[in-house]
Amino acid sequence: MICLMSRRELKTKAKELAKRYGYLPYMIERYLSLWGQEETLRFLSACEKPIRTAIRVNPLRNDASSTVESLERKGVGLEKIHWLQYGYYSDFKGYSPGSLIEYMLGYYYIQGVPSMTTVEVLDPKPDDIVADLAAAPGGKTTHLAQLMDNSGLVIAVEQDKSRLSSLKSNILRCGVTNAIVLRGDARKIDQTSLEPTKILLDAPCSGEGLIPLDPSRKTSKSMADIRYCATRQDELLDSAIRRLAVGGEIVYATCSIAPEENEYVIDDILRKYPEIRVVPIDIEFGSPGYPNPYGVQLDDSLKHARRFLPHLHGTEGFFMCKMKKGG
């Protein structure tokens, strides 16, 4: 249960915790009003611990069980992640996970557990036309192709020129042959006549879920940065939804834990487009989205969104929400 604090108490407590854990005070204030003191403390202490490395094996390049066998023969410890088809927690025993020949051959991809989960939630099929609207470096693009067995079409869009070569490299390394790579601003996707049956919007975000991986994030972003991201996310999602085929599905995801970049963005879209509804996710993982963050009542269906949180799931923080477009 969240124990209510007065505004002054909250500010004082936030300042103290911010100092102790090295954060900007505004962040802790938000955590305290979102979760209360006890859960905030559990979150802060979980962010001090490392996140387990994970890989996704890639049957487009090699039979999944052969890859597992050959990695195990080399002494890599692997533990299957139970809700994922191809995901494994992995212990490379001090070696760099990207240094093995199996990696160069595209037999596996090093990827966060929440990222792998996002693509399984979208559940692309071989006859789908899928738009991946913020694609570099291609972790999700290559996973989409893998689940589609290199059939159908994946349209990978990336704006940043310097990130295109990693996207293309990963596509080639992983044996993907059903993708096209477009450079441009995905906010302009509504100017095209594409009609994807599925869309993945792994939106650029403030990265507030990545604190366990990148402690500099504790002090690098202001509330204004979060607002800037939220505006861009709104525009990206709006444009995506306009091009989504009727009956099609979209997964919106970020590696931010900020409700401002997640539930608030979806809530805006639900108000604007009555034909869009949040659909339940039928895989067991994570915890529900927040329909009532900071005491603000949003669309109740946001409980069907999912969150990964370091203190509850031992992963980086992440948000995802699946929606469907009606007629």
Ligand X SMILES: C[S@@+](CC[C@H](N)C(=O)[O-])C[C@H]1O[C@@H](n2cnc3c(N)ncnc32)[C@H](O)[C@@H]1O
| Catalytic sites, residue numbers | 255
| Residue 300 near residue 267 (C-beta atoms within 8 A) | no
CB of 327 to ligand X, least distance (A): 28
Burial grade of 238 (CB within 10 A; 0-12, 13-18, 19 or more)? middle
Q: Count CB neighbours of 304 within 10 A.
A: 18
Tokens of 20: 């102790």
C-beta closer to ligand X: residue 128 or 158: 158
CB of 204 to ligand X, least distance (A): 4
Question: Residue 19: which residues within 8 A CB-CB, separation 6 or more?
Answer: none
C-beta closer to other proteins: residue 114 or 196: 196
In angstroms, the CA 194 to CA 191 distance is 9
110 sits near other proteins (criterion: CB under 8 A): no
User: Of the listed pieces 25-33, 47-55, 162-170, 310-318, which binds other proteins according to CB under 8 A?
Assistant: 162-170
In angstroms, the CA 298 to CA 295 distance is 9
- Strands 249-254 and 318-325 turn out to be antiparallel
Tokens of 189: 């996707």
C-beta closer to ligand X: residue 25 or 97: 97
| Residue 293 near residue 259 (C-beta atoms within 8 A) | yes
C-beta closer to ligand X: residue 35 or 252: 252
In the list 11, 42, 52, 183, the residue contacting other proteins (rule: CB under 8 A) is: 183
288 beta partners: 306
CB of 172 to other proteins, least distance (A): 5
191 sits near other proteins (criterion: CB under 8 A): yes
DSSP secondary-structure letter at 95? S
Strand, coil or helix: what is 90?
A: strand
Residues that bind ligand X (CB under 6 A): 115, 134-140, 157-160, 163, 185-187, 202, 204
User: Of the listed pieces 2-10, 71-79, 182-190, 282-290, which binds other proteins according to CB under 8 A?
Assistant: 182-190
193 sits near other proteins (criterion: CB under 8 A): yes
65 sits near other proteins (criterion: CB under 8 A): no
> How many CA atoms are closer than 13 Å to the CA of 229, on its beta-carbon side?
23
C-beta closer to ligand X: residue 62 or 115: 115
Residues contributing to the site for other proteins (CB under 8 A): 98, 101, 104-106, 137, 153, 157, 164-166, 168-173, 175, 177-185, 188, 191-194
